[in-house]
Structure 1
Amino acid sequence: MHKTYTVEEAKRKLEHYCSYQDRCHDEVEQKLKGMNMIQQASDVIIAHLIEHNFLNEERFAKSFARGKFRIKKWGRIRIKNELKLRNISRYNLDAALKEIPDDEYFSAFDELAEKQWKNIRESDIQKKKKKIFDFLMRKGFESNIIYNKISELCK
């Protein structure tokens, strides 16, 4: 038997859930579904969370972008795609990407590419190029800056 929650209990539980870490609307809706809340109750709870600033999609998108860039060294394409998967609006997506300064972005990219280049143990230069290209694409960096970096590394 599933535990049932009153709207007040669910509000408190979701307040804690949202204050522990920034959440997007999708995560909160999934959590409410998991708690077997009916749609009307979910709508009331989500409105309450937004009104009391527990749930703020722009704040979520910005902190998500900063965190994934600084900690996981993700590129803008990967961050953008991950935010799209979470149904983040175009406005919040653009605001999130502005959180990453260009100079910081390119220096992190250079550092990551150079470190990876040194770590790839491959004598065939074409295979080595492909390995670093694939790695940087998976990280979500733009193909044009990857090509430029690879030709710079091969000099």
Structure 2
Amino acid sequence: MMDVEKAFGKIASLCARQEMCASDIRKKLLKWEMPHADAEKVVARLISEKFIDDARYAGFYVRDKYRFNKWGKDKIRWQLRLKSISDEVINEALASIPDEEYSNNLQQLLKTKNRQLKQDDPYKRKAALMRYAASRGFKSDEIANALKNLLLMEDDF
């Protein structure tokens, strides 16, 4: 079992290298078999010394998953909820995604997937694109609008 000071030092070092949220830290401390009360002390100190900040973490997480993984807002929201981030913090972080860029991202994702599909039936093709975008965390109305735009842009759809 690890004492509070040693655990704080190890976790602070980890947080200096990589952005983490409070729930990730709690899990790590409990995995190290630290008593819950001591783990909470370490987390409280990390928060007070600004090593961890859930709002900062959510901002980085949103930008990373949106830009690099091409996830939609719904998938990002659910993943952050799994990390016990508050809805207020999640909404604030998601608001940082520009609407036009978000739409263009979905459009590009669908265009790329459309080229990969070997389906000839337009209804099955559209259904496959809907399922794909939904699995990436986009809302059905956003997907429908993007598909409408895609249909207008591509004659071979």
The amino acid that maps onto 1:17 is: L
Distance (Å, rounded) in 2 between the aligned partners of 1:106 and 1:9: 47
What's the offset of the Cα at 1:55?
A: 0.9
- Of residues 64-73 and 108-117 in structure 1, the stretch that sits farther from structure 2 once superposed is 108-117
Which of 98, 123, 139 is matched with 1:126 structurally? 123
1:33-88 deviations in Å (ceiling 9; x for gaps): 01111122112111110011111000011110110000000011111111111111
1:72 aligns with 2:74: no
Distance (Å, rounded) in 1 between the aligned partners of 2:81 and 2:112: 29
1:19 aligns with 2:16: yes
Distance (Å, rounded) in 2 between the aligned partners of 1:19 and 1:31: 16
Which of 132, 146, 149 is matched with 1:135 structurally? 132
Note the aligned Cα RMSD (angstroms).
Answer: 1.3
What's the offset of the Cα at 1:148?
A: 2.2
TM-score if structure 1 supplies the norm length?
Answer: 0.92
1:86 aligns with 2:83: yes
For 1:58, the equivalent position in structure 2 comes to 55
The amino acid that maps onto 2:85 is: I
Distance (Å, rounded) in 2 between the aligned partners of 1:57 and 1:148: 33
Q: Which runs of 4+ in 1 moved over 4 A?
A: none
What's the offset of the Cα at 1:152?
A: 3.5
Structure 2: stretches of 5+ with no match in the other structure:
153-157
The amino acid that maps onto 1:38 is: P
1:98-137 mapped onto 2 (5 Å cutoff): 98-137=95-134
The amino acid that maps onto 2:9 is: R
What's the offset of the Cα at 1:109?
A: 1.1
Structure 1: stretches of 5+ with no match in the other structure:
none
1:147 aligns with 2:144: yes
Identity among equivalent pairs (%): 29
